Amino acid sequence: MNNLPILVANRLIRLTGNIFKTLSYPFHFIFPKKRFTIPAHSPAKVRLSGSRRIPRQIWQTNFTDQASLPVYLNYLFNRLLTLHCDYNYVSTEARGEYLKANAPDDVYDAYSRLTNGAAQADLWRLVVLNQRGGIYMDIDATVVWSLDKLLGNDHDSLYIKISKNTRFTNYFIASAPNNPDLEKAIEQAVYNVNNYEPSMGVYHSTGPTVLHDLLINRGDVNSRDRKFVCIQGTFTNEYFQYIDKPRGKWTHINPNELVKKK
């Protein structure tokens, strides 16, 4: 795939997103209580002619489906580039219910001991992708090209890297069901919760480090630099994402309180 058009699209998307983000400050100053509802489900608008190895269904979660203007605009923009995909928004309550009904007892137990929504979402995304397949994206993530074209049909997974293409991250994961890498990541995350140390925090216990350590020394992993797939903070930022929950981002939690003791 020619990367130049994607890189140009990346820059234009960033510019557009930043314009809307800037305009959202006066909008929410004038309409401080205005929120937009992210739907629990949105079916694909364009049907594919054949099956895909990676199911074309998107999974997202957040602490609320009531979004500020830039978060909602980010959702709408993503839908334009994912017309071939079904969309699923899963609430905090629904995440727990899904794992209770579908995950092994040790996985659900580890999930239940996590006190932070981001850490819970880290574990949930691994389980739902391993069981159902699809594409997980953080609520502030923005795809930069047609997702169907980015994924193609030659691989069972697609991961992205940050830090100049040197570190795997988990804010975007695309996978077919029954992925051995995700199974190992689930096992590692559960182990980390059961053997948690405050120095680990969210990032190293359930977050990106889990995937990074599993994949970094492998030569058979299908991955791309994030700038050619999915970027963050284009339309929104911490203020708008947590407009109804100040200091709600995982970076503000006390790492000593992340995991409840047995």
pLDDT along the chain (262 residues), means of 10: 93 98 99 98 95 98 98 99 98 97 98 98 99 99 98 98 98 99 99 98 98 97 98 98 96 97 85
Sort strands 134-137 and 57-61 into parallel, antiparallel or unpaired. Answer: parallel
Q: Which pLDDT belongs to residue 2?
A: 85
258 in a domain, yes or no? no
Q: Which pLDDT belongs to residue 119?
A: 98
Which residue(s) pair with 106 in the sheet?
none
Any long-range contacts for 43-49 (C-beta under 8 Å, 24+ apart)?
43/86, 43/87, 44/83, 44/84, 44/85, 44/86, 45/79, 45/83, 45/84, 46/83, 46/84, 47/84, 48/84, 48/148
Which residue(s) pair with 59 in the sheet?
88, 136
- Quote the domain boundaries for residue 104: 3-250
Total domains, the chain? 1
259 in a domain, yes or no? no
228 in Cβ contact with 144 (< 8 Å): yes
102 in a domain, yes or no? yes
80 in a domain, yes or no? yes
261 in a domain, yes or no? no
69 in a domain, yes or no? yes
CATH code for the domain of 138: 3.90.550
256 in a domain, yes or no? no
180 in a domain, yes or no? yes
